[in-house]
Structure 1
Amino acid sequence: MSTEEHVWRAHVVRRLRERNRKECDNFKEIIEQNNRLIDHVAQLKADNLKISVENEQLRNAVSTGGTGSNVAIATLEKKLLSQQEELTELHKRKGENSQMIVDLNQKVEQQRIIISEKEHSLVEQQTNNNRLRAEVQLLHSSLEELKKLNNTMLDEHTALQLAFSSLEEKMRGVQDENRRLLERLMQYKSKDADKLNEENESIIRKRLPSIFRKRSAKLKRDLEDAVREPSSSSNTASSPGAASLQRNSSPAQFVGGLIGDEDFDEAAINGAMEAIGLDDNEYISARFTAGGDIAENSRASIDTLKATGYLGQANPTKILMKFEAHENESHAVRWSPVERMVATGGADRKVKLWDIGKNSTEPRAVLSGSSAGINSVDFDSTGAYILGTSNDYGARVWTVMDNRLRHTLTGHSGKVMAAKYVQEPIKVVTGSHDRTLKIWDLRSIACIETKFAGSSCNDLVTTDSLGSTIISGHYDKKIRFWDIRTEKQADDVLMPAKITSLDLSKDCNYLICSVRDDTIKLLDLRKNQVISTFTNEHFKISCDFARASFNSSGLKIACGSADGAIYIWNVNGFLEATLKGHSTAVNAVSWSPNNNMLASVGKNKRCTIYSES
């Protein structure tokens, strides 16, 4: 007998026993009681028949007569009486048993109803079980299809990874070639600039002695005349030199008259500028206005002077203050727009305010509330509020006057790297590593708009006081432009490496972008094009959030380096100064908006303030 047949027979036997148990056990006691009653009735019938026979015999005996028979009759009557009582008792018990049978029949009906319900439930459960088995089978088939699809996707991913590796290798080769070509181009430009400088210097050296004597004597005579006769406007106006020195004319007219002459020289320019009180920035502006009438060799000479910083604003070279700003690494620094005050933020979770005007190395205020390191700080245009971002996924607003925490903006799922005011003082925009930009309404302390950039944001700026355009720099090497009035995104500008910081010129026409390939790009926002690149063989961007900065006139650019130096370029691309003041990498720099001072912070916890020598 096979195993399957044995299992089948055992199953049948088990089911029959289960059926007998369910159908017979409930009635077993009733059946036993009924059988006992039937046996007892049969016994009573036999006894009754026996007594009837004996009664008949006794009657026969009575009919024949005799004394002994009277005694027997009395005995039999007594016995008959007892038997009748016993029969009565039996009838009574029979009634009780009948009532018990009725009750048991009712219980049997109830059990049948319960069994019927159980059977109905069993049928439903079997149906549900069959349905679930079908679903499991369907899910198994779906799982097999998903496994096949997953294998296909893995194969495609492997193929794409190989293609990506190949393309990345080609890209590295192209980048290396581009770097070599760029270096060669820079060398050629440097040679051209050196050659042009040599030509200009040779021209100046040839013409300097005679021009210097001629122009100096002329300016001296004019100044002496002006001092002797201050009230004689007619005599002063009649002198050609004095006419050139009239400050009532526009700077462009004055500079055009000064350098339009072929005999202008460096000493003459300085003397004339001092005589009329014309500063360097006004001279540069007037120079470009009047430049259309200048000869080509004069244009080259002025450009050379400007490139060396001679005609521009002097560079800050003296260390005015140096103090330990934070307990750990310092990440951010920003000047107040209205006071000689600097705000710094560091890894010790604090924003500190420093009063530079009083040369105090003790903080004016310590702004707390952040639970992680500070990444950036910024003032509003009035200097009344300070905005800080943190690694705890939030941004905070403090008031400068009472140093109180006013607002806490939480909603990002990554560290917040930058924040700026838009539509002051009611809105703020924040950029985070969670690949989003959020615009916050400070009146309701709520996020009113989220812009999905698709890449981590390292820095952002706004183009005007209304904040109509937001410019953000991202990890994926792109500068993105967002117009919050139309909710449209302008074309992105792709950089050669990931972007660490952005800064706008005061007129909002130019943007500098520090890039992780150790360069700083200058963009003309009117064309959305890179117009200049600033670099140096020793200049290295220190970290992914290193901050570069425009000065107040927009003519100079400063950025810290990993070697602890601060490099200052003019907008023409020439490196004007290298400031030494840090022993470790510099993370951020900031120009003062009101004077020619520069603040910097770095990994060595210190903040350094530079001023003019």
Structure 2
Amino acid sequence: MAAVSISTTANLNQLQGWEVSVLKQLEERNRKQTSVFSELVQSHLSVWKQARALEVQNRELDKQLVIARHENSLSASGSGNDKTYQRQARKISELEHQVSKLRDELATKYKGEANSANSQLELSSAHMSLQKEHENTQAMMNEAREEVQTLRQTIHTLQTTDQEKDKMVDVLRNEIGGLQAMLNRSEEKVMKLMNENNAILERVKDEKMRLMDEMNRMTELNAEMQLKMLAMKNEPNKYPPTLAQAVEGTPPGKTGRVLFGRAAVGANVPSEPMHVFKAHDTEIPSLCFNEEGTKLATGGADGNVRLWSLSTKSCNSVLRSSSSSGGVATNAILNVDIRNKFILGCGSDRSCRIWSLETERLLHKFTGHSGKIYTGKFSPDCKIVATGSTDRKVMIWDLESGHRLRSLSCGSTCNSLDINEDGTLLVTGHQDNRIRLWDLRANVQQIKVVQVHTGQVTSTSFSSDGHSILTNSMDNSLCVFNDINTMVASHYLKHNEFRTRSVWSRSCFSPTAKYAAAGSIDGAVYIWDVMAEKVEKVLRSHTSTVTGMAWSKPGNRLATCDQTGFVVMWK
């Protein structure tokens, strides 16, 4: 090995630079691989030298033994003396013993050399295994280094992303802070406006009381004047002729028309509350009259539908749609409708229930919507029921079988719907500010989509003759469509103080469609003259937001409900 190294070293000067590098690497690898066995090699060489020395010594002793035996044989055959013979015999015996001993040592050395060779092979095999394990470990370490590098890059990317998100969070916090400040200012303004509004309401009440006192005084004065005029007519001699002639053309009891001429103009417009009662302990999103105008149905957030007799002014029955859990109803009735012998209640539990008015039994429970059902209506012939939901679908149901006939995709939450009197058209109002008109004959299809409001539509209803449509919206306006074929808005009904804030704030036509009524967030009920597009009357009795209303078909009653559970009957 040393000779090879010296020769390699001597030839380094004759090689190129890369060849020198390769040779140096080979020498380094050879040094590393042989260094592991250096002690074993030295031990093996020592044992080999000892074995060679023993062999030489053994051969010498064999020679001496052969000579001694030869001499001994000569002495035995000659006349030598016995002492010499004995001495030679002892020497031969000693030499034979030494030869035997050396042969044993040589056998032991050979055996040791064989064991050493086996050990060397085993160590070589172990070294190869360790070398392979080292190479595998090195490969794993390289993979681990690459993975660590990749993880470091990922961590760096995540840190960068985290910093960007922190910046976005700071921006959002600043925006939230600004919005909170704006909200606080708005709340302060609202509180100020509410205080001013309460003060105005108090002044209005005081003014109403003053006007009522004044009207009572004028009524008494009118009665007194009528009596005097009657006396003047019966006894004309006591009064000047010209005054008697002036009185002859005015029949008794008709002078009130001159004094209260405006009342004659609004004779069909409700003017004062006839009956106020607490119908539910919770909000009332909807109410409706039966066709005869003798019963009123109210649907409450307590999950109950109550039927009221208008003659006795009492609740005849309670139709329950759910049980209560911890005093809180598990379902809220969001819309009610009465037709013939049936009543329906649409609920927040994504179902619509149909009861019999005669037996008060639950006939059907329509399920299929995946969201709250805001609205539902019977067709005039009571063959189908239409429901609208927050799942952006309108569904048509067969009333007799309870099966779903059609599912219509609207693309937006349906807040309200109505069916015209001949059952051929369906109008729906949606949160996307649009009004959709559907043809219910044969294959139900959408025939018109219009957008006249800038806020979501909360109410849609046909007039009693089915020729006009009335809509209400969160843009604080009502719209009337007199031409259903074109769906072009004919009239816009507004007022500076009228506000709509509930998704089920309903409006309605009077039976002749001359007037339209809607409730405001401040509890006022506004009645517009449709053709004149002006407010005919503002009714005040509610103390909270008016949510629903219905005008009886005979036209003699208007019913309204609010968020605190009160119902007001107007005359």
TM-score (norm 2): 0.58
The reply to whether residue 460 of structure 1 matches residue 417 of structure 2 is yes
Amino acid at match of 2:461: D
Amino acid at match of 1:479: I
Q: Distance in 2 between matches of 1:21 and 1:597?
A: 113
What's the counterpart of residue 106 of structure 2?
87
Q: Map residues 100-119 of structure 1 onto 2, 5 A cutoff.
A: 100-103=119-122
Q: 2:353 aligns with which of 382, 389, 397?
A: 397
Q: Map residues 216-231 of structure 1 onto 2, 5 A cutoff.
A: none
The reply to whether residue 604 of structure 1 matches residue 564 of structure 2 is yes
Secondary structure in 2 matching 1:558 = strand
Secondary structure in 2 matching 1:52 = helix
Secondary structure in 2 matching 1:46 = helix
Are 2:388 and 2:415, in contact at CA under 8 Å, matched by a contact in 1? no
Identity, % of aligned pairs?
18
Amino acid at match of 2:319: A
Q: Map residues 359-508 of structure 1 onto 2, 5 A cutoff.
A: 359-361=313-315, 364-368=318-322, 374=332, 376-379=334-337, 381-390=339-348, 394-400=350-356, 401-403=360-362, 406-412=365-371, 417-420=374-377, 428-432=386-390, 436-439=392-395, 448-453=407-412, 457-463=414-420, 469-474=426-431, 476=433, 478-482=434-438, 485=443, 488=446, 490-495=448-453, 498-508=456-466
Deviations 1:377-434 (CA, angstroms, capped at 9, x unpaired): 13264453413243x7x3443535325882444524xx654344689766644243x7
- Residues 108 and 424 (structure 1), Cα distance of their counterparts in 2 relative to 1, 3 Å cut: farther
Q: Distance in 1 between matches of 2:518 and 2:30?
A: 95
Q: Distance in 2 between matches of 1:529 and 1:490?
A: 11
Amino acid at match of 1:459: S
Deviations 1:224-273 (CA, angstroms, capped at 9, x unpaired): xxxxxxxxxxxxxxxxxxxxxxxxxxxxxxxxxxxxxxxxxxx9xxxxxx
Amino acid at match of 1:505: S
Deviations 1:12-68 (CA, angstroms, capped at 9, x unpaired): xxxx9xx9799749x94x664454233212212212322333443454455455433
Structure 1, gaps ≥5 residues long: 1-15, 148-266, 268-303
Amino acid at match of 2:518: C
Structure 2, gaps ≥5 residues long: 1-24, 73-83, 165-250, 252-260
1:345 offset after TM fit, Å?
A: 3.3
Are 2:551 and 2:559, in contact at CA under 8 Å, matched by a contact in 1? yes
Q: Distance in 2 between matches of 1:381 and 1:556?
A: 23
The reply to whether residue 522 of structure 1 matches residue 529 of structure 2 is no
1:602 offset after TM fit, Å?
A: 1.1
Deviations 1:322-346 (CA, angstroms, capped at 9, x unpaired): 3222223332222345784433334
Q: Distance in 2 between matches of 1:439 and 1:557?
A: 28
- Residues 364 and 417 (structure 1), Cα distance of their counterparts in 2 relative to 1, 3 Å cut: closer
Q: Distance in 2 between matches of 1:585 and 1:41?
A: 115
Q: How many correspondences in the alignment?
A: 420
Q: Map residues 106-505 of structure 1 onto 2, 5 A cutoff.
A: 308=265, 314-315=268-269, 319=273, 321-337=275-291, 340-348=294-302, 350-356=304-310, 358-361=312-315, 364-368=318-322, 374=332, 376-379=334-337, 381-390=339-348, 394-400=350-356, 401-403=360-362, 406-412=365-371, 417-420=374-377, 428-432=386-390, 436-439=392-395, 448-453=407-412, 457-463=414-420, 469-474=426-431, 476=433, 478-482=434-438, 485=443, 488=446, 490-495=448-453, 498-505=456-463
Are 2:48 and 2:113, in contact at CA under 8 Å, matched by a contact in 1? no
- Residues 562 and 40 (structure 1), Cα distance of their counterparts in 2 relative to 1, 3 Å cut: closer
1:446 offset after TM fit, Å?
A: 11
The reply to whether residue 546 of structure 1 matches residue 505 of structure 2 is yes
Q: Distance in 2 between matches of 1:449 and 1:123?
A: 63
Are 2:275 and 2:569, in contact at CA under 8 Å, matched by a contact in 1? yes
TM-score (norm 1): 0.54
Deviations 1:471-496 (CA, angstroms, capped at 9, x unpaired): 324454x4344558475563413236
Q: Distance in 1 between matches of 2:457 and 2:548?
A: 14
Q: Distance in 2 between matches of 1:608 and 1:591?
A: 12
What's the counterpart of residue 582 of structure 1?
542
Secondary structure in 2 matching 1:452 = coil
Report which of the two structures shows the higher radius of gyration computed on alpha carbons.
2
Secondary structure in 1 matching 2:100 = helix
- Residues 591 and 373 (structure 1), Cα distance of their counterparts in 2 relative to 1, 3 Å cut: farther
What's the counterpart of residue 93 of structure 2?
74
1:548 offset after TM fit, Å?
A: 0.8
Q: CA RMSD in A?
A: 5.0
Are 2:285 and 2:335, in contact at CA under 8 Å, matched by a contact in 1? no
